[in-house]
Chain A
Amino acid sequence: MNNRCVEEGLSAPVNVTWEMTYACNLSCIHCLSDSGLKKPGELTTDQCLRVIDEMARNKVFQFNIGGGEPFMRPDFLDLMDHAHEKGMVTCISTNGTLIDDDVARRLNHPLVYIQVSLDGATDRSNDAIRGKGSFRKVINALECLKQENIEVSINTVLTRRSISELDKLADLAASFGAKLRVSRFRPSGRGKKSWSELNVSHEQMLDFSHWLGEHLKVSTGDSFFSVSTEERRSLGLNMCGACKLTCCLSPQGDVYPCAFLQEKEFYAGKLPQESFADIWRNASVFHSFRELEIKSCESCHRFDLCHGGCPAIAYHTQRKLGVADPECLENCVRVKMSAAVNA
């Protein structure tokens, strides 16, 4: 990653996270967007097509599609087709429960990547978080996708429950020719309520950091640059990409810095009514993010590896920006040592 080029400012994001609906047929206890029912004001098919056209005009390369469950939209596959016709890559995060042979066949396109969510390697552990019967449905989806040779990742949110099953999840992914991707749990949406119960301890985060260093094929979607070890230095971002490389579009067309900061104070504009190019270049909240400096971290020996970590975690845990990610590797080590001294 060339930080200096990024800091000079890009004309458009590399990718846009697009949460296409709040509708979801599951109700996972850690859902970042508190999804369930479709909400009033979600973008219509025509509005979505306009959004895709505008992103393509701005040369955004990739959509990271999420929700809610995107397959709950009856027009979803048509919208993806439209994005592909414009040459845009779509990385679709799904709970997998609505993928059958026909859907898998339709998804077989070189510009499609699929991430299927699993939060445990067995019915019992997964379904306790994602709902009864979801594990079996995901396994069925993985079989359908494998038959079509579609590139798939299994996405697991790191929690106190999933951490002990990471090896099994990596094996499960490999059995389908898939990769394991671990993402960071953040206290947004329903995650606010389940944070204290599910979030890993500092010591577990340290164990996980070590595990990641030994499993270089496991991807993290750059969620964990704050705990990345030297071994992973070349594998991805070493800073938060919000407003620099990426931003987020809500189901209602609201633009935010990232999926975990969809709060009123971070609202940047609305599509398709406003120009995306104008929002990207001129929204004051985006400017503040680009200028965000975590002063307290600048003297840290790991600053070049994480630049202060995830602002969303800092915001949700301390209600302010410009402060360190409390779960950075350095802080985890400090907490562990202090606990050892006190013991």
Chain B
Amino acid sequence: MEKAIMGITARYLLCEGVQVRSESFGLLFYHYAGPKIYFVRSNDLVDESFFSGKQTLSDLIDALRQTRGWSEKLAKRQLSTLMRLLKSRGLVYEQPVC
């Protein structure tokens, strides 16, 4: 099960040339190669500041449990789906925390 929910203790950082800002629909990513923009309808699940690397995914899961009363399973599922999408588009990468 943990394998499916990748990188819980990891930080997620923006790939080189990628910028992000929060919008009403979620996140707007900009990649200077192209340049290209990506609209990610994540609503208010994650704020742009998460990608500065100060928090781990686990910190974010805890925050969602506390502020929204979500179960750990729900928070993990939502966030890992989002991170997988962002990784597959080459927008973020996972930095394990030792």
Residue numbers of A with Cβ under 8 A of B are 2, 4-6, 8-12, 14, 59, 61-62, 87, 89, 91, 110-111, 113
Contacts and interface: CB of A to CB of B under 8 A. Distances in A.
Interface of B: 17, 19, 21-25, 28, 30, 32, 35, 37, 39, 41
Nearest to B22: A11
Contact of A8 (B22, B24, B32): B24
A62 B30 contact: yes
Contacts, number: 40
Given A6-B39, A10-B28, 13 more contacts: A2-B41, A5-B28, A5-B41, A8-B25, A9-B24, A10-B23, A11-B21, A14-B30, A14-B37, A62-B30, A89-B30, A111-B32, A113-B35
A110 B17 contact: yes
A89 B35 contact: yes
A92 to B, nearest CB: 14
Contacts of B23: 5, 8, 10-11
B38 to A, nearest CB: 9
Given A8-B25, A14-B30, A89-B32, A61 B19 contact: yes
Contacts of B22: 11
20 contacts: A4-B25, A5-B28, A5-B39, A5-B41, A8-B23, A9-B24, A10-B28, A11-B22, A11-B23, A14-B30, A14-B37, A61-B19, A61-B37, A62-B30, A62-B35, A87-B19, A91-B35, A110-B17, A110-B32, A113-B35
Contacts of B21: 11-12, 59
A62 B32 CA distance: 9
Contacts of A12: 21
A59 B39 CA distance: 15
